[in-house]
Amino acid sequence: MKRFVVAVLCLGLFVALFPVSFAIAGRYVFTRPFDPKSTAPLLLVCGDHVETVPWAALEHSAPTGAGCSFQVTPERQKWVEEQTRKMQLPGEASWVISVKQLGEQHQRVDLYTMGDGEAGMIYEVDHGKVTPLRTRKIGPVGTMVVLVINVLLWLVVCFGVAGVLGMRETHV
């Protein structure tokens, strides 16, 4: 019975570590310093719709089109996020967006596509001026990277717990 409980706990731990593995991979493996040659998208918010514009095609400060802006105001943030997620992409891909308000007319935007991989960028908009921060790029092998990180974390935790329990049993 004791072995069964340990096996179930180890399996549960393996599953429970996946969110940590995704966070580690996202921050340290898939997100890189900004590449100025990037074709990553920026979000352009217009009166009744949102659209994306490739970084390389911009002047980085003046939006194209009347009534359009790179700003995502707090009042319209929810609407902008909903509209962005509804934008069509080829195949099974979809848009992922996260807007964090950093101050009045100052936001951090994480905008990327997710399908057989991920591609996009993290940037800040401050009073209409866009400052690129990081580029996100994950190929189809990204899942394997997350799995490897998860296995390594799981082994470290399991051996750590086994070592602590083993030391405890020898000293008791």
Could you report the per-residue pLDDT of 107-127, keeping only the tens digit for each? 999 998 887 667 889 999 998
Task: Look at residue 140 in the predicted model and tell me its pLDDT.
Answer: 73
Residue linked to tokens 């049993």? 169
CA distance 120 to 38: 9
Q: What backbone torsions phi and psi does residue 139 show, to the nearest 5 degrees?
A: -90, -175
pLDDT digits (tens, 9 = 90+) for 22-58: 888 877 888 888 888 778 888 989 888 898 888 877 7
pLDDT value of residue 166: 64
Domain that holds residue 126: 34-146
- Would residue 66 count as lying in a domain? yes
Strands (E), the chain: 31-33, 41-45, 50-54, 94-103, 106-114, 118-126, 129-138
In a domain, 53, yes or no: yes
| Residue 111 belongs to some domain of the structure | yes
Q: What is the pLDDT of residue 106?
A: 93
- The reply to whether 84 falls in a domain is yes
In a domain, residue 3? The reply is no
Specify the pTM. Answer: 0.72
The pLDDT of residue 41 is: 87
User: Is 48 contained in some domain?
Assistant: yes
The answer to whether residue 16 sits within a structural domain is: no
At residue 61, the pLDDT reads 47
Q: Considering the domain boundaries, does residue 56 fall inside one?
A: yes
Domains: count for the chain: 1
